[in-house]
Amino acid sequence: MRIAVIGLGLIGGSLLRALTAAGHEVTGFDADPATRDLARAAGCRVLDSTAAAVAGTEVTVLAVPLPVLPRIFEDLAGYDGVLTDVTSVKGPVQDLAEKYGVRRFVGGHPMAGTEASGFAAADPKLFGGCIWVLCLEPHGTGLDDWLTLARLYTALGTRVLPITAVEHDNAVASISHVPHLLAATLATKLLESPLNKALAAGSFRDGSRVAATRPELTAAMCGGNANEVIRELTHVIDDLVRLRERLELSDPVHAQLDYLRRASELRRAWPPVPGAAGRLTADVQALLALGRSGGWVTSVDGHEVATIRPETDRYSS
């Protein structure tokens, strides 16, 4: 396929290299000339403008930060290929795509990354085995466009998970964005006394690890998904208020036990084990049902897709 990748940081750079290695005809562009030179030195075909990079391609992947997307959507007004992105919030991007009248847009979010950033850290193997969310809107996404991207990404070894933008943003608020805020709150405990710094050990180390993330990234991620993060943060605050009430009872040890036991069992049963392989004929509702069950697509052949669903356990809803 002829594919363009716009934005050659960690994710875009890795994708440019992975797609090139997979034999596609891939062109890239980055606004930073030094990054373009780096990518050329790595053997990639890099052009000097977005327009030049996307000319004649069937698919364009926008691997730029959310605030840059409006300008690129304007630049690509006449583009007639499939457009997708890789940002960590999907509802606001969907809204932007509608606002700018982008046709054939499919939101994407690879659940991959490292502490590093920039093309220098790009790795064509970054996506192996990762979940790649591809948004599927019952009244919006072209199923054939979705399948085109699913075929492309599964061929890189990713697990493509179909879900709506709203459901994606809701889930990542609770299992990624709020965890970043909890980590930040823990990290500020170091400020209270040098004694805290000296006594902090394993539970602090792991619980606060992602607080070291670049603050601009965390702010953009949580702020870009503010409504969902506010809702999830409210649930967490409510849970903590209830835990505090239990600690105020006459037997605080036993009062918490059921809650802690359930948490411990849930955590020990995670991550879920891949379960049965299956097949389905592509259809929006069937694909969404797969994603809602935590399952994913492993390959695409026309309208036939191969799937894996997670093992069910006693906690599955």
The residue (of 248 and 281) whose beta carbon lies closer to its own copies is: 248
Question: What does the alpha-carbon distance between residue 4 and residue 52 come to, in Å, rounded to a whole number?
Answer: 10
Instruction: Work out whether 273 is an interface residue with its own copies (CB under 8 A).
Output: no
Cβ contacts of 35 within 8 Å, gap of 6 or more:
8, 9, 13, 118, 119
Instruction: Work out whether 157 is an interface residue with its own copies (CB under 8 A).
Output: no
Contact set for its own copies, span 220-239 (CB under 8 A): 220, 222-224, 226, 229-230, 233-234, 236-237, 239
Instruction: Work out whether 280 is an interface residue with its own copies (CB under 8 A).
Output: no
The residue (of 189 and 279) whose beta carbon lies closer to its own copies is: 189
Structure tokens at 156: 């890189």
Residue 306 beta carbon to its own copies: minimum distance, rounded to whole angstroms: 17
Structure tokens at 260: 């802690």
Contact set for its own copies, span 56-115 (CB under 8 A): 111, 113
Instruction: Work out whether 277 is an interface residue with its own copies (CB under 8 A).
Output: no
4 pairs with which residues across the strands?
27, 60
Strand extents, DSSP E, the chain? 2-6, 25-29, 45-46, 59-62, 82-85, 105-106, 108-110, 131-135, 159-163, 274-281, 296-301, 304-310
The residue (of 49 and 185) whose beta carbon lies closer to its own copies is: 185
Contact set for its own copies, span 161-190 (CB under 8 A): 161, 163, 167-168, 171-172, 174-176, 178-190
Instruction: Work out whether 263 is an interface residue with its own copies (CB under 8 A).
Output: yes
Instruction: Work out whether 133 is an interface residue with its own copies (CB under 8 A).
Output: yes
Structure tokens at 163: 């879900």
- CA dihedral sign, ordered 216, 217, 222, 225: positive
Q: Which stretch binds its own copies (CB under 8 A): 39-47, 76-84, 146-154, 196-204?
A: 196-204
Contact set for its own copies, span 238-257 (CB under 8 A): 239-241, 243-244, 247-248, 251-257
If binding means CB under 8 A, how many residues of this protein chain bind its own copies? 101
The residue (of 45 and 231) whose beta carbon lies closer to its own copies is: 231
Question: What does the alpha-carbon distance between residue 266 and residue 243 come to, in Å, rounded to a whole number?
Answer: 18
Instruction: Work out whether 49 is an interface residue with its own copies (CB under 8 A).
Output: no
The residue (of 56 and 223) whose beta carbon lies closer to its own copies is: 223
Return the residue of 196, 276, 278, 279 that touches its own copies, per CB under 8 A: 196
Nearest to 119 by CA among 26, 43, 224: 43
Radius of gyration of the chain (CA): 22
Question: What does the alpha-carbon distance between residue 312 and residue 303 come to, in Å, rounded to a whole number?
Answer: 27
